[in-house]
Structure 1
Amino acid sequence: MLWHTFFAAVAVAWIQQAASTPGVDQWITALVSSNSSLLSWPTHFTQDIVPKQIHSHNDYWREVPLLTALSLGVQSVEADVWFINGTLFVGHEEAALTPNRTFESLYLQPIMQILDMMNPRNNFTSNATSANGPFDTASTTPLQLLVDMKTDGNATLPPVLQALQPLRSAGYLTTFMNGTVQSSAVTVIGTGNTPLEGITALQPRDVFFDAPLASLNSSNFDHTISPIASTDWGSVVGWSGIGNPTDAQRNMIQTLINDAHTRGIQARFWDTPGWPVRARENVWTELLNDGADWLNADDLVAASRF
């Protein structure tokens, strides 16, 4: 009752101020300049942003990692992680590492802050049974975080698991437990040197494995281990994007995608052509037509507009 009375009073004052002006544009101007609390809401961080199944390849190369991807609706980001002297650093190679660009500072801290905003604790959310992801327009859509382990996987996995503890404690991690995958705000997937044995041994499992898309038929992968499977476009398909793919190349794409889908796994091709633009977009079109789940992109603006 108190909340209702408060908002009713604010609304009356808001309308009275706006009503002193004649037209809708003037109303809007007056109301915006009033800084009324009715014009914002707790989860407006990503308002009007439509999520898209784009993977931000080498996301840490962006001028602003993570946030640039989210601003364009990109659902998946990738961080190359090096475990050196007790710290998880982020960079493509050792020469690119700096003391302050860490897994914690570039990804985990901002992700935690964003998800806390998207999951406010108040009287309205006291009965919430699941966590919202980062996108206000699609709250059940998780952020996919690929952790490309560059140092020895067996040495790197334990500190990665430890670093994820705040997200884990908040209930923000997608988790496989008791035979069921429970989707949450962030799905973490290990790639690169990530040890498969270390992932399958996790109980419960809240870090998953990027399966080899080109060799799924010789494995026991399913979605409880690998939500996605990836492969190198150039070595497996080889089409440059100029002209049309051969029948064999198209059949290869479709076969790999279908193999993944029969296991409940999503398909991603990395290192697709980035230039010329016509070739890049020809490949993207082919992938979408063939049912690929992710567009692997370096140019996020172009991918989001595509």
Structure 2
Amino acid sequence: MTSGKPIDGISRWLTDFTRSVVPRNCHSHKDYWRPYPLFSALAAGCVGVEADIWLSDNGLDLLVGHDRSSLSSERTLQTMYLDPLLTILEHQNPQGPITPVEQARGVFDTQPDAALVLLVDVKTNPTDTWPLLIKQLEPLRKRQFLTRFEYIETPPGFVTKKGIWPGPITVVGTGLLDRATFFNQKHRNHTDYETYHDTFIDAPLSTLAQDNGFARVPSSQPGAVDQIASNSSQLWSADDAYYASASFKTTIGSVRTGFTQEQRNKVKTQVQAASQSGLKSRYWDIPDWPIGYRDYIWRVLTEEHVDMLNVDDLESAARRGWTQGYLRDVLWMTLVSIYLLSCGITVLVFLTRRSQRQNACARDLLDSHSDSNLRA
């Protein structure tokens, strides 16, 4: 391996894997930790990868890693992701430049119109970090390999149309990236954000309904999820954002004994808000153990039409047909909890009784000593 990628990764992908891989709505969480960053996710069919980026000390490059101690000048966003993706896409599109309204072929031969989402988690000051990312995307931008918002004159009649024009790669910013930095045009080639941009931002799923001014319409059915009424005033739109994400643990909470109706309704409401906003719903911080518990959460989220599964175990995510063994795991956890509780109670009772016996013995000894003194 060199520079964070397998030496023959690109050639193997182009010759061996691409013909049989089926894209799946899974997101490779902390992708850079894998033995083969990017390529492991592609081989599993995941249509999303994640890279944590840090501005180098000299401000000239973007390093990839979980924390500062793991950073290396050899592991950069360009060497691990941007350059390999450019090579793959150039191979997939040998015809050269395409017209503005055409969509380049993507990384998956089995579904060439499927976009790969590159989620960039900004870990350093976005004012300095994000402009460099915009600059490093230029080779992909020139080849029209990026999903973009643009005004385009389309035939016949060359009518100007504005909107999202899909590309093989969709770049989404998250982490420390804020709205002010994202919308700042000083670092962009195009002076007017409203006419062109090819990066998108991660919206907050937990507050999306409120941010976008959706009104809650109480359901007439007891226990059913409230409906959401659209509002024309939206803080987050599909022209600017792509994902709507939230921490599962913080937003939904523990579901070790199963999703409550309230928790399930919350998922439904949040997914509905994302869908009506034109965004893809995604939960991160999903428990990954026990495996049956994780699979149960995955299954419920899929049933509730969450758009993207945030996963660490690529093989299990790609396999689908997840185990129904969650109840077994719940029973196991319940029995263990009961056993530990009973052990704790037993120990507490034992210590209490021993303390009582010791106190009784001490009193008897004291009484005996007092009687001896009286007789003396």
TM-score (norm 1): 0.82
Aligned to 1:119: 93
Please tell me whether residue 214 in structure 1 is matched to residue 206 in structure 2: yes
Partner of 2:241: helix, strand, or coil? coil
The structure 2 residue matched to 1:97, chosen from 71, 79, 82, is: 71
Structure 1 letter corresponding to 2:173: G
Mark the CA change 1:138 to 1:44 in structure 2 (over 3 Å): closer, same or farther. Answer: farther
- Equivalent pair of 1:115/1:134 in contact (CA under 8 Å): yes
The structure 1 residue matched to 2:248, chosen from 233, 245, 258, is: 233
Structure 2 gaps of 5+ residues are: 1-13, 152-161, 186-192, 212-234, 321-376
- Equivalent pair of 2:23/2:108 in contact (CA under 8 Å): yes
* Higher deviation after alignment, 62-71 or 43-52: 43-52
Aligned to 1:185: 168
- Equivalent pair of 2:119/2:172 in contact (CA under 8 Å): yes
Structure 1 letter corresponding to 2:136: A
- Equivalent pair of 1:43/1:117 in contact (CA under 8 Å): no
User: In the TM superposition, what is the alpha-carbon distance from 1:93 to its structure 2 partner?
Assistant: 0.2
- Equivalent pair of 2:205/2:244 in contact (CA under 8 Å): yes
Structure 2 letter corresponding to 1:64: Y
Partner of 1:284: helix, strand, or coil? helix
- Equivalent pair of 1:154/1:195 in contact (CA under 8 Å): no
Moved over 3 A (4+): 42-45, 125-128
Mapped to 2, the partners of 1:255 and 1:168 lie a distance apart of 36
- Equivalent pair of 2:18/2:108 in contact (CA under 8 Å): yes
Mapped to 2, the partners of 1:254 and 1:129 lie a distance apart of 35
Structure 1 letter corresponding to 2:261: D
Aligned to 2:336: none
Partner of 2:149: helix, strand, or coil? strand
CA RMSD of aligned residues (A): 1.7
Please say which structure displays the higher CA radius of gyration. Answer: 2
Percent identical = 37
Structure 1 letter corresponding to 2:287: P
User: In the TM superposition, what is the alpha-carbon distance from 1:245 to its structure 2 partner?
Assistant: 0.6
Structure 2 letter corresponding to 1:276: P
- Equivalent pair of 2:209/2:270 in contact (CA under 8 Å): no
User: In the TM superposition, what is the alpha-carbon distance from 1:272 to its structure 2 partner?
Assistant: 0.6
Please tell me whether residue 53 in structure 1 is matched to residue 36 in structure 2: no
Structure 2 letter corresponding to 1:283: I
**Aligned pairs for 1:129-168 within 5 A:** 129-168=102-141
Aligned to 1:244: 258
The structure 1 residue matched to 2:267, chosen from 225, 229, 253, is: 253
CA displacement 1:198-242 (0-9 Å, x = unmatched): 3234521111000000011232101111111100000100133x3
Mapped to 2, the partners of 1:226 and 1:130 lie a distance apart of 20
TM-score (norm 2): 0.67
Aligned to 2:279: 265
- Equivalent pair of 2:31/2:51 in contact (CA under 8 Å): yes
The structure 2 residue matched to 1:70, chosen from 30, 42, 52, is: 42
Aligned to 1:205: 197
Number of positions where the alignment pairs a residue of Structure 1 with one of Structure 2: 262
